[in-house]
Amino acid sequence: MSTSHLARLERLGKQINELECRHVFGSVLAELGGKDERIVLVTADQIGTHGGRAFEKNFPRRCFNLGISEQNSIGVAAGLALSGRIPVVLLYGFLVARCAEQIRDDLCYPGLNAKIVTTSSGLAMGPGGVTHHCTEDLAILRSFAGLTIVQPGSRLEAALAAEEVVGRMEGPAYLRLYRGFYPDTVEEALAAYYKKAGCFQAGRALTLRRGGDVCLVASGLTLAPTLEAAAELDRGGIQARVLNMHTIKPLDVEAVTTAAAETRGIVVIEDHNRLGGLGEAVAALTAEFCPCPVLRVGVKDCFSAVGPMESLWERQGITTSEIVRQAKAIAKGEIHAC
């Protein structure tokens, strides 16, 4: 691995130390803003909550707080992009539904270089209640042609993804972040991976664990129970491959089809409605090109409830034990529709 890559990881590690993920993103954005004056920030009264203060402090003229008006914010971002700027729109994830048509018509259809960043993935805002849960955004946005969708699984990966998506990638993109601290186990696993294997590449899944019995595909926060499940399966003699599918779209076709061919089936674990999310993307791909059993762990097409995220996950079966149960069913060929 190149010295510069390792030095970059070390520098990022120091930069994000003790920062919640939203502030990790904000810190990277402020740094990118210093390198590229085209980058501007657009938000709908949500600068502070999504970590935009650092950018605002450094570049007040390039920060547009449009008040509580999400449709307008996306349209304004489109105009800024047309004028040659690179707008980054900070939003709560659940608000994607509100301005979906603007994202489709104003950003994706003209193929503008604009980025949407949310910091409240899935059920993360548990006590906020159903209105603040973000469990349909992927279903909506996956169907918009030309939109890249990235969901990092750790703060380091969020920093790397932000550098890639905002700093280098052309075209419209959606970055789906968690607000706080990702579990240490995953943080460490991904840090080790990037140290060994190199740069973040949109559209290229990370193989975090090798195995030929079953494949577990996870993204974002669900990597933690997924890695725990893989370890437990291992103790029971089942070798689970684990893919970190940090890019939901474009899906890593090679990683999925290879897993379909080399294992007995796939379990997809996501913090999203099981309709329309990553699980459905994997199921559709395999059904077309390499049929294999695909089971989905995620929100069961229902509105959740008020409660701590962990409890809501428990209710939806987004747990280590449920992943293990589903993976065993695949490994043993004992799948039953219910």
Residues that bind another protein (CB under 8 A): 40, 61-62, 64, 66-67, 69, 71-85, 87, 101-102, 105-106, 109-110
Please identify, using beta-carbon distances, which residue of 75 and 122 lies nearer to another protein.
Answer: 75
Give every strand in the sheet of 39-43, ordered side by side.
Answer: 63-65, 39-43, 86-91, 115-118, 173-176, 148-150, 247-249
Contacts of 236 by beta carbon, 8 Å cutoff, 6+ apart: 328
Q: What are residue 176's DSSP bridge partners? A: 118
Please identify, using beta-carbon distances, which residue of 105 and 314 lies nearer to another protein.
Answer: 105
Q: How many CB atoms lie within 10 A of CB 47?
A: 20
CB of 66 to another protein, least distance (A): 5
Q: Identify whether the C-beta of residue 322 lies closer than 8 Å to the C-beta of residue 267.
A: no
Please identify, using beta-carbon distances, which residue of 106 and 270 lies nearer to another protein.
Answer: 106
CB of 42 to another protein, least distance (A): 8
> How long, in residues, is the chain?
338
Please identify, using beta-carbon distances, which residue of 40 and 47 lies nearer to another protein.
Answer: 40
Please identify, using beta-carbon distances, which residue of 78 and 327 lies nearer to another protein.
Answer: 78
**HSE-up of residue 9 (Cα within 13 Å, Cβ side):** 19
Alpha helices per DSSP H over 125-199: 137-141, 155-167, 184-197
Q: Which amino acid is at 326?
A: Q
CB of 171 to another protein, least distance (A): 15
Please identify, using beta-carbon distances, which residue of 41 and 295 lies nearer to another protein.
Answer: 41
Please identify, using beta-carbon distances, which residue of 103 and 283 lies nearer to another protein.
Answer: 103
CB of 75 to another protein, least distance (A): 2
CB of 303 to another protein, least distance (A): 25
Angle between helices 253-262 and 278-289 (to 10 degrees): 60
CB of 78 to another protein, least distance (A): 5
Backbone phi and psi for residue 13, each to the nearest 5 degrees, phi listed first:
-60, -40
CB of 232 to another protein, least distance (A): 50
CB of 55 to another protein, least distance (A): 14
Please identify, using beta-carbon distances, which residue of 102 and 286 lies nearer to another protein.
Answer: 102
Contacts of 291 by beta carbon, 8 Å cutoff, 6+ apart: 260
Please identify, using beta-carbon distances, which residue of 71 and 239 lies nearer to another protein.
Answer: 71
CB of 39 to another protein, least distance (A): 11
Q: What are residue 217's DSSP bridge partners? A: 243, 268
Is residue 318 classed exposed, middle or buried when 0-12, 13-18 and 19+ CB atoms within 10 A define those classes?
buried
CA distance 191 to 328: 29
Residue entry with tokens 């120091």 = 14
